[in-house]
Each structure stands twice: as structure tokens, then as C-alpha cells.
Amino acid sequence: MSDFVKLTPDGVGLEFQGEPFKIVGANCYLIQQHGADSNGSGRGRMANIIKAAADKGINVLRIWAHNELTWNSIQNGTKEVLTNPDGSAWFEPIIDPNGIDGLDWAVAEAARNGVKLIMSLTNHWKEFGGIPQYARWASKKSDLSEWELQNIFFSNGKAQSMFKAYIQYLLNRPNPKRDGVRYKDDPTILAWSIANEPRGRVDPSGRTLNNWIADTSKFVKSQDSNHLVTVDVEGFFLTDQDGVKASYLNPGQLQDGCDFIKNVDHETIDFACMHMYQDLWPEESIQHDKKKREEWIKTWLNVHLKACQGKLSKKKPLILSEFSERKGKDESFADRQDFLKKVYGWLQDNMGPRGIVIGSVVWMISDRKFVEEGNDKDEGRCIIIDGDGKDGLQQVIDHADAVYRQYPSCNPRHQAN
């Protein structure tokens, strides 16, 4: 019996040690950066967040497994070690020992609390370095816009080699805080996500991004035969879906070369991800009308469910891996509470034994200090994991309780070691 979370034999669900596995998850991108702060308060704060998350019933955390040239970075640069006759090159990542120690610690701390991890290998956005930083290193240009850098990444062979070198390094790294267990052999990790929210504006047809997803996921699989692999696409469509206009679902993103059905329909992508931001993506007339917004949410969820049930080469599990509602202008959380109740209700309706929905990962949890320092002032999306529950935490707890009544073996308190 495997210690790793695996696909069920029919390929439409997850199982762990012979039992169905459902994801009751939360995003927390803070953990590696603050976990590297072993001499200050950061590591203790992150330990409290992970423990509190497990105590509240969160069994999966989605975290960044990369950090390029930002605070407590993992990777400070790259070094060319081999140049081929055709001009292509192979690189080694220049690893910061303090930064990687933060990630080593995070994996070990999650294991101690019975929490699994979805680990994102890079980010489309400039925060934490990500794709733009690889493009800067490869092109040696620093005066380009974020979108120009993102476009370079997908077409630049050196950028791709740099990224793959980091993947190879990380997956084969022995974790000293896990008795030398290599990352690719650690069952604490549920899945590798090859990128957070990749977009392919360089090619609006979608071919460039889709080919990159195929190539990169295949490379991860070649390095690691134990773990599931996914890609955290937002879920945009290039074509209409069941009479629903693509322009209704994602009017501002039609030029970004994202095609949900093709992006997740690869043999090397084990389960499909979608994100949902009803207060950012639809037309403004929908964003600011609660009734229209709720209708958009239902449509968004259901078109992705139908796609994974019947529009791929075979059925594939589906996870809602980012979703949130901003707090109200009056600092109230009534709309968020209502939003979470309805979304979690939809998830529970589709997470049964015959359903292909494997769970969700809410955006995002933090501690009180993170919010009090003003870090959530602009977005207003944080759920304080050790708070009074009024900011949506109680809805997360209620959802966890509902899931574990049906699937008690998924409870993180059963997995702590």
C-alpha cells in the first residue's frame, strides 16, 4: 500500500493508503519565506499557522516551492555548466542555503502536523521572481515589462533550461530536516504544480502555452515517478462552452492563450485545477451585482465540471485551487461568509463517491500579525487562521467537518507524525 496520494484505479479520484482522499485545503504563500527566518519570529509564526490549520481541519496547504531573488530567496541566480554545439546550454541553480532551509523546514513541519502539500514550482507573476526572473536571467535584459518578460520565457531555450535545472535540483534534493529523504520520495508532498496561473499572451492561439505545459509536466514526471503532477491554470476558455460565451466567462483574458480543456488534457497532468475570482474576471456589471455575480459563479463552476466529465480524452479529477471573496467596504465579512457557504455547498454536492471533484484550496490563510501589519490592505482576502472565525474561518471549519463525516480518514489529525 502506497504512502503517497495516488489516483484511484479509474483515474477520476484520489486515494491514500487505500481510502478515498478529499482535499480540504488552504493557500499560504508565506511559509517558505517566513520559515527561513529561523533566528527571528518568522519560523515560530509559520509553525503556529501550520498547526492551527491542521487543528481546524485543513489537510492540504498549497505553497510556493520557489523564490527567486526576493526576501529569503531560494535561488539567487544560475550558472552555465555546459554549452552544446548547437548553442543550447545546461545550468545549475545558485541556491541560497538559508532560503532552501526555509522550504526544507516547511515540508518537515507539514509532515509533523499531518498536512499534505501542493508545491508550486514557479509563478507567472513577478512576485517571488518566477517566470519573469528566469526571462531576465536568460535574456540579460532588465528594462522589459512584466508581460514582455513572460513572453520571452516560453520561447527562450536558456530560460527553459534554467527552470528545468531548478526542478531537477529540487526534486532530487535530500531534505536534512526529513532524515535525508529526497523531495521526490517524500509522501508529505501531494503534488507538484508546474506553475501558478501561467498565461500565454505571446501566442493567443494557445499552442505555445499548451506545448509548454506538455513538455514541462513530462519533464517533472521523468524526474519523479511518485508524485501527482498538475498545473494551476486559472481555467480560461478560448471557445464557447455549452452555449455559454467565452467572453462571458473571461472577457479580459481571451487574448492570453489559455485553453482550459487542452491545458489539462495531457497524460502527464493527473488532475485539473481551476481558480475563481468573480470580483475580478467578469464584466464590471456582473462584478458589482450580487445576483449576477452568483449566477456567474454557478456557471463558472459547472462548465469546468462538465469539461472534466466529458470533454477531455478521459474523465479527470478537478480541484478548485484558488477562490476567495474580498471583505466588504464596511470591513464586514457577510458577503464572504455567504460566498463560502455556497461554494462549499457546491463542492460537497460534487465530492461524493461518484463525483470527480476532489476538493478545494481557499485563498488564503495567514496569522493576525500579517493582517495587522497591513499586508492584506489592498486585497482584503486573508482568513486569519487563529482568529475569531467571523472572516470566513468558521465556514472553512464547517466544510472540513462535513467532509470528514463522510471521509474520516482524510482528517489531518490522523496523519500527524
Mean pLDDT is lowest, of 8-12, 199-203, 323-327, for: 199-203
Nearest to 264 by CA among 324, 194, 201, 205: 194
**Within 10 A of 2 (CB to CB), how many other CB atoms are there?**
11
Contacts of 274 (CB under 8 A, 6+ apart): 233, 234, 235, 260, 300, 304, 318, 319, 320, 321
pLDDT at residue 83 is higher than 80: no
Percent of the chain predicted with pLDDT > 70: 99
pLDDT at residue 76 is higher than 70: yes
User: What's the average model confidence in pLDDT over 124-152?
Assistant: 92
**Within 10 A of 45 (CB to CB), how many other CB atoms are there?**
20
Which helix (H) or strand (E) segment holds residue 50: the answer is: helix 42-55
pLDDT at residue 39 is higher than 90: no
pLDDT at residue 417 is higher than 70: no
Strand, coil or helix: 43? helix
pLDDT at residue 415 is higher than 90: no
Residue showing cell 508545491: 119
Give pLDDT tens digits for 194-219: 999 999 998 999 999 999 999 999 99
Q: What is the DSSP string of 114-145?
A: T-EEEEE--BSSSTTSHHHHHHHHHH---SS-
**Within 10 A of 201 (CB to CB), how many other CB atoms are there?**
17
**Where do the H-state alpha helices sit in 180-234?**
207-223
Nearest to 99 by CA among 59, 58, 129: 129
Strand, coil or helix: 48? helix
User: What's the average model confidence in pLDDT over 312-330?
Assistant: 95
Give pLDDT tens digits for 385-402: 999 999 999 999 999 999
Give 185's DSSP letter.
G
Can you give the CATH number for the domain in which 328 is found? 3.20.20.80
Q: What is the pTM of this model?
A: 0.97
> Beta strand pairing status for 6-7 and 14-16?
antiparallel
**Within 10 A of 226 (CB to CB), how many other CB atoms are there?**
17
Domain assignment present for 374: yes
Looking from the CA of 266 toward its CB, the CA atoms found within 13 Å total 24
Domain assignment present for 381: yes
Domain that holds residue 229: 6-414
Give pLDDT tens digits for 250-293: 988 888 999 999 999 999 999 999 999 999 999 999 999 999 99
pLDDT score, position 87: 67
pLDDT at residue 42 is higher than 70: yes
Cα 24 from Cα 17, distance rounded (Å): 18
Domain assignment present for 1: no
**Within 10 A of 144 (CB to CB), how many other CB atoms are there?**
15
Instruction: Using alpha carbons, list the distances in angstroms from residue 352 to 23, 235, 272.
Output: 12, 23, 17
Contacts of 174 (CB under 8 A, 6+ apart): 180, 181, 182
pLDDT score, position 331: 82
User: What's the average model confidence in pLDDT over 355-365?
Assistant: 98
Domain assignment present for 12: yes
Percent of the chain predicted with pLDDT > 90: 88
Sheet holding 60-64: strands in order across? 228-232, 189-196, 116-120, 60-64, 23-27, 357-362, 318-323, 272-276
Mean pLDDT is lowest, of 79-88, 284-293, 359-368, 374-383, for: 79-88
**Contact criterion met (CB below 8 Å) for 8 and 15:** yes
Question: For residue 74, is it left (φ>0), alpha (ψ between -120 and 50) or beta?
Answer: alpha
Give 177's DSSP letter.
G
pLDDT at residue 177 is higher than 80: yes
Q: How many domains does the chain have?
A: 1
Where does the pLDDT of residue 378 fall: very low under 50, low under 70, confident under 90, or very high at 90 and above?
confident
Q: What is the mean pLDDT of the chain?
A: 95
In this predicted model, which residue has the larger pLDDT, 84 or 60?
60
**Contact criterion met (CB below 8 Å) for 285 and 234:** no
pLDDT score, position 329: 83
